[in-house]
Amino acid sequence: MARGAREGGGGIGVGLAPDACPRFASNTAAFLGHPGESHPITLRTPVPDAIREHPTASYQAKPEDVHRVLLLYSGGLDTSVMLKWIQDQYRAEVVALTVNLGQPGEDYDVIRGKALDLGAVECHVVDAREEFAREYVVRAIKANAIYGRGYPLFTALGRPLIAAKAVEYARRTGCDTVAHGCTGKGNDQVRIEATVATLAPELKVIAPVRSWRMGREEEIAYAREHRILVKGGTEVAPYSIDDNLWGRSSEGRWIEDLDRAPEDDVFQLVTRPEEAPDEAEVVTVEFERGVPVGLNGERLPLVELIERAGEIGARHGVGIVDHIEDRIVGLKVRDIYEVPAATILLLAHRELEALVGTIHQHEVKPTLDQKWAYLVYAGLWWEPLRTDLDAFMDAANEQVTGTVGVRLYKGSARVVTRSSPNAVYDAQLASFAQSGGLFSQEASPGFIELWSLQSRMAWRLRNERTGGD
Ligand code: ARG
């Protein structure tokens, strides 16, 4: 059974929270409960004793540590309930922080208003799109970052930045504690808490959704009691959504049924391939030193370029990934990803690398790419190995300049053209006709003789041995 949005995923509640999904946001928003109506349900879910007495980790807050809390706030149900609950349970002040990483369809004025209505003493909205694109997405592109068989890590890239902003704002606003909306089942708790514990050992963390043991029903009752606006119908638990500039994920509901093919309503970003245009389109991507700088011949700022690539890909049904994934906390889960921008840009980047690198570079870099992706997936953004690897990625990308054409058609993306001033390629050498005097084909037999020498000797030895039997 799909047990509700937050159980499906990390449920941080930053970005587009389940109940802030545009699908539900349109006209179904309603106050649950009526003004003046009194409710029999009075929830005072206690701070669990385990947390009160013996925090498992040094950075976990004991109730007496908590006076002013920086809450990573999305405007969704979980973090809205948290905003009230923290004030209730800890008698603490709450400063709300919402980080814009380019999640589409968000109204930040509404989110700010909601936070203040719920009693936040301050609410900050930070536009971190440029920083996210430059410092996180570009590094991922240089490392061709994919986890598993198709997850371009958009959430994993976003969390360390969101948590770093939480640290920055907690310090700036005099908070002693950071609160987030993750469950105890996902990767996001790892990414956020590892970041806070690394960057700010003086700060404590609380994760109420992980510890309060409220079910969805109870949570909605709490929302009702406190007149918290719940968007969307409450009968069906929504998908657990997370998104930013680099992609969108859905978890929960039927997605947990591995046997079920995706239902159409899950796709809110990418056009269903069968409904995509009948005409193919070629999009050209220009790179300088591994960084995308232009699209279809037009130079664009990074954020706009990523958004534009995403729009074009989405129109052609490109970037749907139905992914079985091994979470770092041990669970195996299924995610539906919509990653049109990442599909196009990573494909084009990889192609250009293939053109400008040598056979030896191509042997090693994918291994390091994979290690990079794993570290980031696993919440170790601040691990020195990641920066060591980035130094390698930067060096390896020095030559990655040029243009790649990608043909998009009903869900597929295929490279059709490529060019680079740094291509380790000579059309004359490669052609079957002339070698252009650069090397003599007469040299090849000598090479073959030495290249195969050990293999031939070994073959002979084995054959002589078995030959006699
Ligand atoms: N499975 C992906 C990851 O671990 C996406 C998680 C999305 N997070 C969420 N709270 N819905 O990075």
Between the CA of 412 and the centroid of ligand 1 the distance, in Å, is 24
| Mean pLDDT along residues 84-101 | 97
> Per DSSP, what are the bridge partners of residue 97?
72, 124
Q: Is 14 within 8 Å of 214 (Cβ atoms)?
A: no
**Helix (H, G, I), strand (E, B), or coil: what is residue 194?**
helix
User: How many CB atoms within 10 Å of residue 160?
Assistant: 23
Per-residue burial over 359-383, b if 16 or more Cβ lie within 10 Å, else e, is eeeeeebeebbeebbbbbbbbbbbe
Residue 218 near residue 22 (C-beta atoms within 8 A): no
Query: 377: CA distance to ligand 1 center in Å?
Result: 10
- Torsional sign, CA 100, 334, 272, 233: negative
34 or 80: which leads in pLDDT: 80
Q: Of all protein residues, whose CA lies closest to atom 1 belonging to ligand 1? A: 335
pLDDT of residue 238: 85
Tokens of 439: 């090397």
Measure the CA–CA gap between 357 and 188, rounded to whole angstroms.
35
Mutate to test the pocket of ligand 1, among 151, 182, 251 (most ligand atoms within 8 A of CB): 251
Identify the band that residue 460 occupies on the pLDDT scale cut at 50, 70 and 90.
Answer: very high
Candidates 12, 147, 242: which one to mutate for ligand 1, based on the most atoms within 8 Å of Cβ? 242
What separation in Å is there between the alpha carbon of 420 and the centre of ligand 1?
36
Q: How confident is the model at residue 437 (pLDDT cuts 50, 70, 90)?
A: low
> Which secondary structure element, helix H or strand E, spans residue 282, and what is its range?
strand 281-288
Q: Which CATH number fits domain 268-419: 3.40.1030.10, 3.90.1260.10, 3.90.1150.10, 1.50.10.20?
A: 3.90.1260.10
Lowest pLDDT segment from 207-221, 246-260, 324-338 = 207-221
User: How much of the chain, in percent, has pLDDT values that exceed 90?
Assistant: 79
Which neighbouring-strand residues pair with 286?
294, 403
Q: Which residues contact 416 (CB under 8 A, 6 or more apart)?
A: 282, 405, 406, 407
Residue 10 CA: nearest ligand 1 atom is: 10
pLDDT digits (tens, 9 = 90+) for 98-108: 999 999 999 99
Q: How far apart, in whole angstroms, are the C-alpha atoms of residue 197 and residue 186?
A: 18
Among the listed residues 176, 180, 177, the one whose alpha carbon sits nearest the alpha carbon of residue 15: 180
- Which amino acid, 356? V
Q: Kindly compute the dihedral angle of the four CA atoms of residues 421, 427, 430, 436, in this order, to the nearest 10 degrees.
A: -110
Residue 134 has φ and ψ, to the nearest 5°, of: -75, -45
What does the DSSP 8-state code read for residue 436?
Answer: T
Per the structure block, which two tokens stand in for 356? 């400008």
Q: Looking at the CA of residue 8, tell me the nearest atom of ligand 1.
A: 11
Are residues 82 and 89 in contact, defined by beta-carbon separation less than 8 angstroms? no
Question: Residue 24: what pLDDT?
Answer: 27
d(CA 317, CA 267): 10
C-alpha closest to that of 356 among 392, 402, 394 = 402
Task: Specify the ligand 1 atom closest to the Cα of 159.
Answer: 12
Please write the tens of the pLDDT for every residue from 223-269: 999 989 876 656 677 899 999 999 999 999 999 999 999 999 999 99
252 CA distance to ligand 1 centroid (A)?
11
Give 165 Cα–ligand 1 centroid separation in angstroms: 19
The domain covering 5-244 belongs, at the CATH homologous superfamily level, to HUPs (3.40.50.620)
Cα–Cα distance, 276 to 337 (Å, whole number): 18
409 membership: H or E segment, kind and range: strand 402-409
Residue from 16, 101, 249, 376 to probe ligand 1 pocket by mutation (most atoms less than 8 Å from CB): 249
pTM here?
Answer: 0.89
Q: How many angstroms is it from 162 CA to the middle of ligand 1?
A: 14
Backbone angles phi, psi at 178, to 5 degrees: -110, 135
Determine phi and psi for 314, rounding to 5 degrees.
Answer: -60, -40
How far apart, in Å, are the Cα atoms of 461 and each of 164, 216, 450, 454, 465? Answer: 62, 70, 17, 11, 6
Q: Which two tokens stand for residue 323?
A: 């992914």
**Domain residues of the chain, as ranges?**
5-244, 268-419, 428-467
Cβ(417)–Cβ(404) under 8 Å? yes
User: What is the distance, to the nearest Å, from the Cα of residue 59 to the centroid of all Cα atoms in its chain?
Assistant: 25
Report the helix count and the strand count for the chain, using DSSP H and E: 18, 16
Q: Which residues line ligand 1 (CB under 6 A)?
A: 9-12, 155-156, 186-188, 240, 242, 249, 251, 325, 335
Query: What positions carry a catalytic annotation?
Result: 78, 159, 188, 240
For the segment 70-82, the average pLDDT, to the nearest whole number, is 96
Q: What is the mean pLDDT of the chain?
A: 88
Tell which atom from ligand 1 comes closest to the C-alpha of 154: 12
* Ligand 1 center from residue 376 Cα (angstroms): 13
Q: What ligand 1 atom has the least distance to the C-alpha of 328? A: 4
Lowest mean pLDDT among 17-26, 38-47, 172-181, 324-333: 17-26
Ligand 1, pocket-test mutation among 187, 210, 322, most atoms within 8 A of CB: 187
Ligand 1 closest atom vs CA 377: 12
Question: Does residue 221 contact residue 39 with C-beta atoms inside 8 Å?
Answer: yes
Answer yes or no: is pLDDT of 129 > 50: yes
